C-alpha cells in the first residue's frame, strides 16, 4: 500500500505511462510480470437452477426464515434478476 500511495493521479490517466512502466516503477525490486489482457464482459452467470441449488442446501429453519409473503424472493445483486420460489419446493421430510 505504501508503494501504491506514491502514484500520482496524473500517472493513472497519462497515456504515455503504460501499465508495464508503472508496475516496473513501483515493484521492480520484487519482480514484475504483466500478463496478456483479457476482455471484460458485462455478463452475469446467475440462473434459476443455481439459486435453487443453493436454497436446497438450506435447513428447514433457514427456509422458514427466508420466506416472506408466502415465497422466497432472491435478487441477483449483479444483474438485478428477481427469482421467486415456493418454499414447499425445499421442505425436507
Number of domains in the chain: 2
Parent domain of 20: 1-38
- pLDDT for 29 equals 75
User: 14 in a domain, yes or no?
Assistant: yes
Q: What is the CATH number of the domain that holds 60?
A: 3.90.1280.10
User: 43 in a domain, yes or no?
Assistant: no
CA 29 from centroid of its chain's CA atoms: 32
**Mean pLDDT, all residues of the chain:** 88
Assess whether 33 and 58 both reside in one domain. no
- pLDDT for 37 equals 83
CA distance 38 to 65: 41
The pTM score is 0.56
Angle (CA) 82-64-92 rounded to 5° is 100
Amino acid at each position: 500500500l505504501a508503494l501504491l500511495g506514491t502514484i500520482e493521479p496524473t500517472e493513472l490517466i497519462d497515456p504515455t505511462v503504460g501499465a508495464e512502466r508503472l508496475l516496473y516503477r513501483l515493484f521492480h525490486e520484487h519482480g514484475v510480470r504483466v500478463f496478456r489482457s483479457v476482455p471484460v464482459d458485462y455478463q452475469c452467470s446467475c440462473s434459476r437452477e443455481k439459486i435453487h441449488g443453493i436454497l436446497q442446501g438450506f435447513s428447514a429453519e433457514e427456509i422458514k426464515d427466508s420466506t416472506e409473503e408466502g415465497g422466497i424472493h432472491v435478487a441477483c445483486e449483479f444483474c438485478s434478476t428477481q427469482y421467486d420460489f415456493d418454499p414447499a419446493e425445499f421442505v425436507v421430510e
